Amino acid sequence: MKPKMQLFTIAAVMILIAGLSVGCNKATPARTDAQVASDVQSKIMSDPAVQSRDISVNAANGVVTLSGTVSSDAERNASSNDAGAVNGVKTVINNLTIQQAQTTPAPAEQAQAAPPPAPEPRRETRRDERRAAQSRRDERAARNRETANNMAASQTPPPPPAQPAQMPVARMQPAPPPAPKNVTIPDGTTLSVRLIDSLDSDSAHIGDSFRATLDSPIVVNGEEIVPSNSDVQGRVVDVKSAGRFAGQSLLTIELTKITVHGRSYPLHTNQWSREASSRGKSTAKKVGAGAVIGGIIGAIAGGGKGAAIGATVGAGAGGGVQAATHGEQIKLGSEALLNFQMQTPLTVVVHPNQKSNGNHRQPME
């Protein structure tokens, strides 16, 4: 039974001690930051080791921060120790700085004592004589130097006259050339061209190319965009040569390219076409006339039989003449003037102040 009683007694004592601790904690309320800061300030100000009064205290949850200036490390350490000794302070942050003692400038030195009065001059005949003799020697030496300088100046030729300063001539820098620009020629614009190569429906073939030049410049909004005499190229689209008797000739062409200041651009224009008239009626008339004339000749020669023979001969003669004659051909010689219209707009690069190339070529043989 004794061991159990001892354990019971120890437990009761521990419970009593814990209760007393809780009661003490409840009896002692927590201190505010303002109370802690006030106590720290009073502690530092009452410390004779701290002479500075430029110290401020800030407390927050047991952390005390000191700021301001002190005159020495001893005052800085004493302030930190005073703050740590106050109840409720857990940590001290010492931000005090040491201010260097200002040295008082030394008083200005007293004015130097006035020099003692010079003794009254004494008559020293020999010294005065030496000074007079030295003065006379100096005068003679000065006169000799002046004479020598005058002689040297008379023998030295005068310097050449100074040349007038020439003002630098400002060189005018040429203005930079204007930048090229793109200009669009609208569709429907008329192109008047003059042929260089001649065209003939009797000798031309579909796909043949020909050369021409622009007869008048192309102007857009009052500005010359493509100069006259610019090179133009075209092609034969369709061609038919006039056959015998009732054949008709046909020639159809279009423009495909234009060259402006050395740069070529594709062209899409309408087609220029011409068809020659037929000679079928003329041929029939000639054949009929030949038969009549032949019949007359045959009648004169031998009556009815002769008339039939003459008609046959006359008809053959008339047909032979027409058979040897081709229909009308379409011929366009060099320098022929033709007009085309652009079917699509064309954008060209224009170089300001660039003149016409004037490349008017001679027709090909």
pLDDT tens digits, 221-258:
998 999 999 999 999 999 998 764 456 899 999 999 99
Any idea what the CATH number is for the domain that residue 55 is in?
A: 3.30.1340
Q: Is residue 190 part of a domain?
A: yes
Task: Please indicate whether residue 247 or residue 63 has the higher confidence score (pLDDT).
Answer: 63
- Per-residue pLDDT band for 103 (boundaries 50, 70, 90) equals low
- Per-residue pLDDT band for 122 (boundaries 50, 70, 90) equals low
Give me the torsion for CA of 53, 55, 60, 61, rounded to 10°.
Answer: -70
| Of 52, 83, 99, the domain-final residue | 99
The domain of 338 spans 181-279+325-350
- Per-residue pLDDT band for 259 (boundaries 50, 70, 90) equals very high
Query: Looking at the structure, do residues 343 and 196 belong to the same domain, yes or no?
Result: yes
The answer, yes or no, to whether residue 358 has pLDDT greater than 50, is no
Q: Which residues contact 37 (CB under 8 A, 6 or more apart)?
A: 57, 58, 59, 64
Q: Is residue 272 part of a domain?
A: yes
Query: Looking at the structure, do residues 211 and 330 belong to the same domain, yes or no?
Result: yes
Q: Is residue 118 part of a domain?
A: no
Top-confidence range, 86-95, 233-242, 344-353, 355-364: 233-242
Residue 346 is predicted with a pLDDT of 93
Query: Looking at the structure, do residues 336 and 219 belong to the same domain, yes or no?
Result: yes
Measure the CA–CA gap between 93 and 80, rounded to whole angstroms: 8
Measure the CA–CA gap between 333 and 196, rounded to whole angstroms: 8
| Of 99, 126, 144, the domain-final residue | 99
Residue 162 is predicted with a pLDDT of 67
Quick one: DSSP state of residue 353?
A: T
Q: Is residue 255 part of a domain?
A: yes
Measure the CA–CA gap between 212 and 230, rounded to whole angstroms: 9
Q: Is residue 239 part of a domain?
A: yes
Q: Which residues contact 151 (CB under 8 A, 6 or more apart)?
A: none
Q: Is residue 18 part of a domain?
A: no
Domain count, the chain: 2
Q: Is residue 6 part of a domain?
A: no
For residues 181 and 190, the answer to whether their CB atoms sit within 8 Å is no
pLDDT in tens, 26-50: 445 678 888 888 998 888 888 888 8
For residues 193 and 213, the answer to whether their CB atoms sit within 8 Å is yes
- For residue 196, give the nearest of 176, 214, 173, 223 by alpha carbon: 214
Strand, coil or helix: 108: coil
Query: Looking at the structure, do residues 205 and 332 belong to the same domain, yes or no?
Result: yes
Query: Looking at the structure, do residues 211 and 334 belong to the same domain, yes or no?
Result: yes
Query: Looking at the structure, do residues 233 and 342 belong to the same domain, yes or no?
Result: yes
User: At how many degrees (to 10) do helices 33-45 and 73-84 cross?
Assistant: 140
| Of 99, 126, 143, the domain-final residue | 99
Query: Looking at the structure, do residues 185 and 90 belong to the same domain, yes or no?
Result: no
**Which pair of tokens denotes residue 258?**
């234009």
Query: Looking at the structure, do residues 345 and 253 belong to the same domain, yes or no?
Result: yes
Query: Looking at the structure, do residues 330 and 197 belong to the same domain, yes or no?
Result: yes
Q: Is residue 200 part of a domain?
A: yes
Instruction: Kindly report which listed range (43-47, 148-152, 160-164, 315-319) carries the lowest average pLDDT score.
Output: 315-319
For residues 57 and 79, the answer to whether their CB atoms sit within 8 Å is no
Residue 236 is predicted with a pLDDT of 95
